[in-house]
Every structure is written in structure tokens, then in C-alpha cells.
Amino acid sequence: MVCNCEQLIFLIRVQSSSGVKRVECNDDETTSQFINKVKDAFQFDSQSDFYVYKDRSKSTSSIIPSLERKALKDYGLKHGDLVFLEVRKDKRTNDVTNNDVAHTNSKNSVIITPDLLSISSSQIEDEIDTNLWKESGLIERNRDQKTCKHGLKMKCVHCTPIEPYDEAYLKEHNIKHMSFHSYLRKLTDGVDKGKFAPLEDINCKVKPGCKRHLPYPVGICSACLPNAVTLNRQVYRHIDNVVFENASIVERFLNYWRTTGHQRVGMLYGYYDQHKDVPLGIKATVVAIYEPPQESTRDVIKMQLPEKNISLVNRIAQQLGLRRVGWIFTDLVPEDIKKGTVKHTRRADTYFLSAQECLMAGYFQTIHPNPCRVSSNGFFGSKFVTICATGDKDNQVHMEGYQVSNQCMALVRDNCFLPTKDAPELGYVREGSKEQYVPDVFFKEKDNFGNEITKSARPLPVEYLLVDVPVSAPVEQRFTLNPLKNKDPFPVENRFIEGHLQDFSALTHYLNQFTSDQFLEAMSDFHLLLYLATNETLPFNEAIDPLLTAIKKNDREAAEEWKKSDKWATVEQLILAQSAETGSPSTSNANTGNLSPPRNRDTQWSCKYCTFENLESSPNCEMCGLPK
């Protein structure tokens, strides 16, 4: 049912530290017009930086962005609503962290809440993107002696520079997917410079806030319905290569599987740089792997989302000049234990990524959106990568990298994509219901006669959603962290097995390997820094920030200055006490996890740090690991 509604005028109250002002708005007013009216109401100049939030908490997810194609009603704003204004002293990026993610429900579908692609159009793009926009991207060609008949300072069709998206060049150099910036150049070439070809994600949700009818499922109109979706193989990729700084990063991660036989998940931290082998390409360099809390067996990995301490981990990484660039998981099945070979299970006739793994990849990519200046909402796609450690055709451990397409991200974001029960190579688009409208989703394939036919995505081969990303080793290994290669590294977090525990005994053993003038090298361990910052019994957290800055800048003097602090002196005294109790500074007293014998209250001592009651014979607290 469609009705003719006159344009409505309503008021929105804007609260700030200087009081509340009322802003008069039209029913169809865009958020850009509204933000400009707020600016005029508070008499801000052109240099003022402020944000308007829907709720009092002023969280990133509640920002009302300044968009010319989004109306106030799209954000649920109505007459009399109160919004909240915050003035920023300096212009900073609102970082999207994993605190914004939602949960995995009982039906194995990932629900993304809130819609992170609508956070803010003012999100500052990554530095690598800014640098690539400044480059011409043209591929220079040398003068050909056979075809070029002109002078040395002239050009012809055979030696004129070509565009970075030139199909013949990509095919000749075996580049399967053009880089994202090459794709952008292709869109923005021409007379209109891409003005009429903005990047927009597909939408699978009913448009909210329509006043022409009652909410779905009672009422609906054609203007509110999402369009049908036809899936296409993505011709570009946001990341063109993933490289680990050195082999020991992966080896430390794989050691868990080698020790237990259980699978493992890790989060990749590193940075983005230009990839010279692909025109306008981007590579992700991995410096460290963080292992979140998880339960694993030989076949299944379970982890809680959002991850525990994720804000603190991201803060430490950011101060070290690192960011989360992807995730890695193992799928390793031993073939011959004596030879150390593994089975080759992922191949063309089985699958490369399962539907469940595509679902998780889409989930992670959606909560790590890619800022993009030519997108209508400020974001498009993601640089977040997925790496699977599995067996190759030679039965050796091999790294395979992937991203899921932007279309897959949209299906996951809008809760439309499900894994199938018994066929890992097939996904399934959710059926529509009274609770959720789901548009028709199709894909195209060729029949036995070479004719292209359209099929419903129920079920859907996940190969239509994948973009492969090469994973390579560096030409020259670098050691941003752990620069002294002859030392035993500090144990990795959340490994509750003998010899891998993070406790004070492990800290004592680790630090006793270094001389007094190697303090900077000793502290340059990502897992050690996490232990110091997250251990509630140690006097750190915010106090560790100057040390992180010193490590980032490789400033030995600043690290030595931090070493003189009272808080680190406390740790040194505890280490001396630990060494005196054990009688050997290099002996680790890691807890094996075995059950302790019955306790006798007459032979116990109370830990002065955590008050845990310990056996008199135990030199260290079994709860916090600190010495008696």
C-alpha cells in the first residue's frame, strides 16, 4: 500500500557541553545537511572537528556520518530525538576494534552488529592508500628495436606507458587479480573521472524507517525491498601478497600443533607496504601472531567472540606501529609421523576454504573495513586476510592465503549466508522468513555445452566467493621483534600445556638469558609485552607505554630510562627472589597442570600478591606464579 505523504518538519535536540540546541529538519533531509545545520547552530568554523552521536555513550557505532545519499530517517531519527555532540581538539581516526563485533549464534550464522560499513565517511584512509593515490600507476615500456621506428625521445603505440589494469600485461605476467588501486584507476578513468560510478556494497536488508507502510512483515513497498543479487567472481583484490618477516614467526605458531596434535587459530599483526611485483599493489607484512583464548582438538577449534583483552592487545600493537592484518588457522593431518609429512586434503576436487571458514573470513573482514575515498559511505571491502596452514601436493606444511569477495562480506554482514551440514564446499543463502526478508541470490555457471546458465544460490559453491592471495617468504629475513635469534623466546599466551605456560618462572628464565646491556632486546618480544600488560599481579598496563615507544623507535636510551622506574625495580626484586628460591636462574617451574596433592593447612603460606594459599614446599604461588 502506497500513500502520498506531505513533507514533515521536525526538531532534533543536540546536546553539547555548552547546552542543548534545537535543529529544525525536513523529513527527507540528508545527514550531510543535518551536520551542516548543527555546525551553523553552534557557530563552528570550517576548521572545527566534531562528531554527532545517537546515544550518550558516544561509541564509534553510534556516529551519525555526514553523507549526501543517506537520510536522517535511515538512522532512525525522528521528531524530538536527542543526539549528542562531541568537539574534538584534534582530528583523529576512530579506530574500529573487535569490541564492535557481535556473536556467533546457535545456527552457525555470524550476526554483525552494528553495521560497521555505516560508521563514518570521515574515516581516514590508510597511509598506503594515500601514497598509492599519488602515483600515476602507469607501466613504463622500453623502446622495441623491431617495432619502434622513431627517434629515441619519441613514443609510439608499442612503447607508450600502459595503464596498471591493462589485461594483456596482467595475463603476460601471470597476475590473476588486478590490485584494488588498479581497479579504482579503471573506474575513475574517462571524461567523468568516475563521478557516476561510486563504489557501493550490495544491500540484502529491507530499507528501515519507511513511513509509507507498517514495518515488515506487515507492510512493504518496492522502494524498500533490496534488489536480487547475482554473484560474480571478483576481478581485483585488496591485498596482493602476504609475507612473514621471518620463518620463526610461523614456526612458533606451528609448534603448538607439533606438540599437541591439536589445531590452532592466531591473529596476524603487522603493517601494509607497497608490493612492487603488481601494479599499484599492496602487501601485508606479518611481524607477530597473537593466539586468543581458544579450545581446540584435532578437528575443531572453539573461540569466544569478542576476544578477551582484544582492546589491550590492539593498543599495544598500535604503539609498536603494528595493526591486525589477518588471521591464520591450521588444518594439518599427519600422514607419516616419522617423515613429518601431512595429508593433502585441500585441492581443486575437494575445497580450498570451507563454507564455515568463508563465513568467518567474511565476519572478520566486515569488522575490519577498508577506508575508501570513492565509496559512498567511506568504506569498501577489507584488507583483512585469511591464511590456512595445511598440506600441499608434496605433503609438506604449506600456507595458503585468501580473502572473500565484497559480495560475500555483504551476505555475511546481513546474516544471509550459512554453511551446509555435510558439504564443506557448499554454502547456502538463508531462506526468507517473517523475521527477515532475504532477496534472491543467483550465480552463473556454464553447462556441458558451454552455455551460461543462472542458478539459485541454494546451495552455492564457495569458489564464487574466494579471492586467492599469495603467501611468500621474505628475500631477506627481518627481526623487528626478537632481534637476538640465539635466545629462547618467551612462551606464547593462552597455551595451557607444559613448557608453554606464561608465569613468573618463565619470565625469570627468559630474562636471565640477557645481559644488563641487552634490556631493549629482551623487551622486544610481543608475547612478553602482552604478559606484562595483562598480568594483574604485576604493576604495569598504562605504565608500559613509554617502553613500547622505545621499542618502536629502537631507542636504547629511552628503554634504559624506563628500566630505572620503581615498577620495574619491583619486578627485578621478584626475579632475584625467584632465582634464590629455585637455586638455578635458568630453571623453569612451569605448572604441568596435574592435580595437586591434598593440602595441609599447617604447611601453607599465603601469597601476599593474590592471597592464594600455597603448600609450604612450593617456592612460587600456584595461582599468580610470583615467588614466596
Domains by residue range for the chain, with CATH: 9-87 (3.10.20.90), 111-480 (3.40.140.10), 504-564 (no CATH)
Query: What is the pLDDT at residue 467?
Result: 97
Helices 504-511 and 526-534 pack at an angle, to 10 degrees, of: 140
Mean of the per-residue pLDDT values of the chain: 83
Number of Cβ within 10 Å of residue 490's Cβ equals 22
CA distances (Å), 359 to each of 2, 176, 481, in order? 37, 23, 32
**Residues 209-234, mean pLDDT to the nearest whole number:** 85
Query: What is the pLDDT at residue 314?
Result: 94
Spatial neighbors of 19 by CB under 8 A, at least 6 apart, are: none
User: What amino acid occupies position 401?
Assistant: G
Helix, strand, coil fractions of the chain, as percent rounded to 5? 25, 25, 50
Number of Cβ within 10 Å of residue 200's Cβ equals 12
User: What amino acid occupies position 382?
Assistant: S
pLDDT grade for 385, boundaries at 50, 70 and 90: very high
> How does pLDDT run across 244-260, given as a tens digit for each residue?
999 999 999 999 999 99
Question: Rounded to an integer, what distance in angstroms lies between the CA atom of residue 309 and that of residue 493?
Answer: 12
Q: Which residues of 217-236 are buried (b: 16+ CB within 10 A; e: fewer)?
A: eeebeeebebeebebeebbb
Query: What is the pLDDT at residue 129?
Result: 94
Looking at the DSSP assignment, which residues form a beta bridge with residue 94?
A: none
Q: How far is CA 153 from the centre of its chain?
A: 48
pLDDT grade for 588, boundaries at 50, 70 and 90: very low
> How does pLDDT run across 195-212, given as a tens digit for each residue?
556 688 888 998 887 777
Q: Please tell me the least confidently modeled range out of 30-39, 112-121, 561-570.
A: 112-121
Question: Rounded to an integer, what distance in angstroms lies between the CA atom of residue 139 and that of residue 455?
Answer: 39
Query: What is the pLDDT at residue 72?
Result: 85
Supply the DSSP string of 249-275, one letter for each residue.
HHHHHHHHHHHH----EEEEEEEEEEE
> How does pLDDT run across 317-345, given as a tens digit for each residue?
999 999 999 999 999 999 998 888 999 99
Contact predicate 509/543, CB 8 Å = no
What pTM was computed for the model?
0.74
Contact predicate 371/378, CB 8 Å = yes
Give the residue with greater pLDDT, 448 vs 242: 242
Sign of CA dihedral 282, 288, 292, 294: positive
Give the residue with greater pLDDT, 208 vs 100: 208
- Among 161-165, 401-405, 616-620, name the most confident range: 401-405
Q: How far is CA 256 from the centre of its chain?
A: 23
> How does pLDDT run across 128-142, given as a tens digit for each residue?
999 999 998 899 888
**Residues 596-607, mean pLDDT to the nearest whole number:** 51
Contact predicate 53/77, CB 8 Å = no
Q: Please tell me the least confidently modeled range out of 38-42, 142-146, 337-341.
A: 142-146
Q: Please tell me the least confidently modeled range out of 61-65, 472-476, 586-590.
A: 586-590
Question: Rounded to an integer, what distance in angstroms lies between the CA atom of residue 500 and that of residue 592?
Answer: 10
Question: Is the pLDDT at 480 greater than 50, yes or no?
Answer: yes
State which H helix or E strand residue 613 sits in: strand 613-615
